[in-house]
Amino acid sequence: MDSRRRVPRTDAVLADPRLAAAADRLGRGIVKAAVTGAQERARSGEIAAERVADAAVAALPATAASLRPVVNATGVLLHTNLGRAPLSAAAREAVSAAAGCTDVEFDLATGRRDRRGRGTLAALAEACPAAEAVHVVNNNAAALVLAATVLAQGREIVISRGEMVEIGDGFRLPALLASTGARLREVGTTNRTTAADYADAIGPETGFVLKVHPSNFRIEGFTAEAAVRDLTGLGVPVVADIGSGLLAPEPVLPGEPDAATVLAEGADLVTASGDKLLGGPQAGLLLGRSELVERLRRHPLARALRVDKLTLAALEASLRGPEPPTAQALHAGLASLRERAVLLAKELTGYDAVVVDSVARVGGGGAPGVELPSVAVGLPETCAVPLRRAGIVGRVESGRLLLDLRGIPADLGVTVLAARIRESLQCM
């Protein structure tokens, strides 16, 4: 008898209680696709016909979305391709609670409409008292677009040539700003720009001066740049894009600008990201003078750039809750990282695991050139693909796969992680 005839019918497999329950949770289409895939494996002889239901169950995704959770063991704390900052448990709980109906624009006491995201805005204002007012949009690029549209559409933005950066994936800041209808007035040179260069360019057509922190590269040698404090007396607003989202000074990263310091130096408006060193969700933060922030908030474009209730919930919880995972990774002690690495290597006896010194980085365009001492577990390079397919992403260096402990959340127990690794490598 042809073995293909023994492959069970689709409706019979879907009747399996495990798959029927999964259809209620994931949707019939996703479950049926898993069943069809298992049937094809049985027809090709890869699995026995009686294993179709088991194979379909094993192939089911964790959720109905295609995004898969991963363990970031690359040593890049804010890995853009892996979603940058992981949310804290408090932020994830807040997102879950906000997933249903919420009072995002409603006052439960009066029964009337209220300001959208008022709790999140209050938390942001409390976290950065130097700002007279705050607003949130959907990312830092959106914050710059809103500022350029409101303050400089049809006018000029004065910016240093050395700060005309590309922000990733081919998106260049000059093109982004020009798309708003503003004109860019470049001053200085690639390596040296002085306050006098800005002053000479200011005129009736100037909308604002833009200072951009070159967060994803570093220029060394014969260089000069004007500080924000040197630009505050030019008679036009000074907008500072600090990028990585620090609201206050970070001792581990003394060279990274923060909103409180830049505002104290006289910036009228600061823009920053929420999903980098702040450790929250993707968001664009606008902090500064009340009059400017209110103009931006009331502009029609602000509606198109606003954030949803899930982002508001995650951002507020990141600001008010316990230290986010990004901050924990940044502040992790080398001794504790080594202890975890030693335990992980012991759990992986038989897989040629060794403990090695490593160097981690901030990533996400933050703190370029800054090296963070770390510890990793080294495995044979051949382990990279099966682990990556299982959602454990390390980096290959000098012929070995390194699993850097600095970016792996401490609450992911070593025993649990080791079990996932062993399971992933069993088929090698």
pLDDT tens, residue by residue, 239-267 = 999 988 899 999 999 989 999 999 999 99
Is the predicted pLDDT of residue 61 greater than 80, yes or no? yes
pLDDT mean over 26-44: 94
Distant-in-sequence, close-in-space partners of 147: CB < 8 Å, separation ≥ 6: 208, 239, 269, 271, 286, 296
Class of domain 71-83+327-425: alpha beta
- Cα 318 to chain centroid distance, Å, stands at 13
Supply the pLDDT for residue 3: 57
Supply the pLDDT for residue 217: 65
Is the predicted pLDDT of residue 215 greater than 80, yes or no? no
Is the predicted pLDDT of residue 218 greater than 80, yes or no? no
What does residue 229 show for φ and ψ, rounded to 5 degrees?
A: -60, -25
pLDDT mean over 367-393: 93
pLDDT mean over 414-427: 89
Supply the pLDDT for residue 291: 98
More confidently predicted of 424 and 152: 152
pLDDT, one tens digit per residue, over 68-109 is: 999 999 999 999 999 999 999 999 999 999 999 999 999 999
Element (H, E) at 201: helix 195-201
More confidently predicted of 389 and 129: 129
CB 38 within 8 A of CB 52: yes
Distance CA(330)–CA(370), nearest Å, equals: 12
The pTM is what? Answer: 0.91
Is the predicted pLDDT of residue 277 greater than 80, yes or no? yes
Residue 104 CB coordination number (10 Å): 18
CB 306 within 8 A of CB 137: yes
Structure confidence at residue 297 as a pLDDT band (50, 70, 90)? very high
Supply the pLDDT for residue 1: 46
More confidently predicted of 259 and 5: 259
Q: What's the CATH fold of domain 89-322?
A: Aspartate Aminotransferase; domain 2 (3.40.640)
Alpha helices by DSSP H, listed for 44-117, are: 52-59, 89-98
pLDDT mean over 325-353: 96
Q: Three-class SS of residue 95? A: helix
- Range(s) of the chain covered by CATH 3.90.1150.110: 71-83+327-425
Distance CA(176)–CA(166), nearest Å, equals: 10
Supply the pLDDT for residue 428: 53
Mean per-residue pLDDT over the chain, rounded: 93
Distant-in-sequence, close-in-space partners of 148: CB < 8 Å, separation ≥ 6: 157, 177, 180, 182, 207
Q: In 204-306, which ranges are E strands?
A: 206-212, 238-243, 269-273, 284-288
More confidently predicted of 55 and 5: 55
Is the predicted pLDDT of residue 231 greater than 60, yes or no? yes
- Range(s) of the chain covered by CATH 3.40.640.10: 89-322
CB 59 within 8 A of CB 38: yes
Distance CA(210)–CA(188), nearest Å, equals: 13
Supply the pLDDT for residue 243: 84
